[in-house]
Amino acid sequence: MEYQQRLQTQITNRDKAKAYIKNKSFDTIATHGVYDLNEALANQGSVIEPVFMSTAQGFSHADELQAALAYEIPSWSYTRIHNPTLYYLESTLALLESYDCGVEAGCCVTSSGMSAITTVTDALLADSPHANFVSSSQIYGGSFQQFSIRQAQKNRQVRWVAPDAPMQSWAAQIDENTRFIYIEVPSNPGLAMCDIEMLAGLAHANNIPLIVDATLATPALIRPFQFGADIVIHSLSKIIAASGSVIGGAIIAKENITARFLPDDVSANFCQHLKLLPNRDNGACLSPMQAFLVLSELRTLRMRVDAFSQNTLKVAQFLQGHPKVEQVLYPGLLDYPQYQLAQKYFELVDSAKNSLHNQPEKRYGHLLSFRVKDGVQAAKQVINNLRLIFCATDLGRVKTIATIPAISTHQQQGDKGRQLANIPDNLIRLSVGAENADDIIQDLDQALGNHNNCNNNHHGNIDVLQRPHR
């Protein structure tokens, strides 16, 4: 039939486009993705990927409709299931995350980072009424709540392990009902590292997948597939879309993930399974406009991560020498507790290609945390004194943002949960943006210098924050 010939031509062209772009550099993949001249000509010559705002796709006749809804032919049918704009974003994210890793990967974008986490964990835990999973104790507050409360309501048990615990401590938590290991690298807000390679080996020895939330690193700094991870999760709302205009999430899974409890066809293409079945029914889809906005920002990811990271190191070094700062946590500092592990995993992608001496450059991301002397009230006053830096429960922005996790993003964990995650009350999380580093430092200096001045309040009382946000 005519539609079958048309679709076969489309499949052939897209396979060629992917094979061609996959051999290019990171920035080139981020800029072009799989949108080549053939795709452009199919979209009236548009140089930039179009936004398909239509909720549904029309078909030439009933047989094509039937085949599409039975997933027998490539189509997008209905935007809750798929959409061409989502295809351009998902293909690009999969290529970037698998860049230089020697694996093939798929991607499923979702309505938020939390929906991505929920989609993955529910899919992997669904087969057993007594399933458990092992997680690093230092993760984002929303993830902590999802694991400790929402999954517990479904009779699924999380088993916490400190990120720097020896491998035998992780291994001791795994049994026949364990479905996966979950880590966040680096963690929010404590910047803790886990040894991805070692944990991937442990997971695979037990025939279960390793899941890595790499939101803070992005594929510009750490690509967990290089070290054996099976599934990578991102909150697209953060540094990947630094403008702050997007809420979205992404699941990237390599082909044939290690999961003894999944059918072979699901393990082979886990993201396609999520898109066409669980997410079809649960409705965790990303809107086409949000996908387009992410795609637009993705083109400059490596350059932004490079610039923000250099800013952050300068700010961290300043804070390290400030008399009113008790401790600074940043992987690029020599006294960072897991400095050697950070050296193993952090590297600016393609930096060796772009340097004069063919040597890779170390970059450590846009997030740091620091502890203010004299406790939580002093930390609050520092926040209140800030003039340039915004007080908000957000990170990864082009603008520098600060918050106190104990009273905001990790408030609902309670005292015991924060103690488990090593989040003291006087910890300030600082997401460094694109401003001149000297201006950021100047604002921090005056805020720290004036933290005994209770009348200098530019942001008001921040105790009103009630819910965990990233």
Query: 137-165 pLDDT, tens per residue?
Result: 999 999 999 999 999 999 999 999 999 99
Dihedral Cα 146, 235, 211, 285, nearest 10 deg: 80
- The answer, yes or no, to whether residue 457 has pLDDT greater than 80, is no
18, burial (CB in 10 Å: exposed 0-12, middle 13-18, buried 19+): middle
List the Cα angle 9/31/49 in 5-degree steps.
50
The reported pLDDT for the residue numbered 450 is: 57
What percentage of residues in the chain have a pLDDT greater than 70?
A: 95
Q: Which two tokens stand for residue 101?
A: 């890793």
Q: Tell whether omega for the bond before 189 is within 30 degrees of 0, i.e. cis.
A: yes
CA 99 vs CA 1, 116, 200: distances in Å? 38, 21, 19
The model's pTM is 0.94
- The domain spans of the chain are 2-298, 301-464
Instruction: Please state, as a whole number, how many other Cβ atoms lie within 10 Å of the Cβ of residue 313.
Output: 21
91, 34 contact by CB (below 8 A): yes
Q: Within 13 Å, how many C-alpha atoms sit on residue 276's CB side?
A: 17
Mean pLDDT within 370-399: 96
pLDDT tens string 420-442: 878 899 999 999 999 999 999 99
- Of 158, 136, 134, 138, give the one whose Cα is nearest residue 146: 158
Mean pLDDT within 397-412: 90
C-alpha to C-alpha distance for 263 and 236, rounded to whole angstroms:
29
For domain 2-298, which architecture applies? 3-Layer(aba) Sandwich (3.40)
C-alpha to C-alpha distance for 81 and 76, rounded to whole angstroms:
7
Token pair 């005519």 is found at 2
The highest-level CATH class for domain 301-464 is: alpha beta
- Of 182, 189, 193, 162, give the one whose Cα is nearest residue 331: 193
C-alpha to C-alpha distance for 143 and 126, rounded to whole angstroms:
18
List the Cα angle 129/179/157 in 5-degree steps.
55
Chain centre distance of CA 231: 11
Instruction: Please state, as a whole number, how many other Cβ atoms lie within 10 Å of the Cβ of residue 3.
Output: 16
The reported pLDDT for the residue numbered 410 is: 79
pLDDT tens string 86-127: 999 999 999 999 999 999 999 999 999 999 999 999 999 997
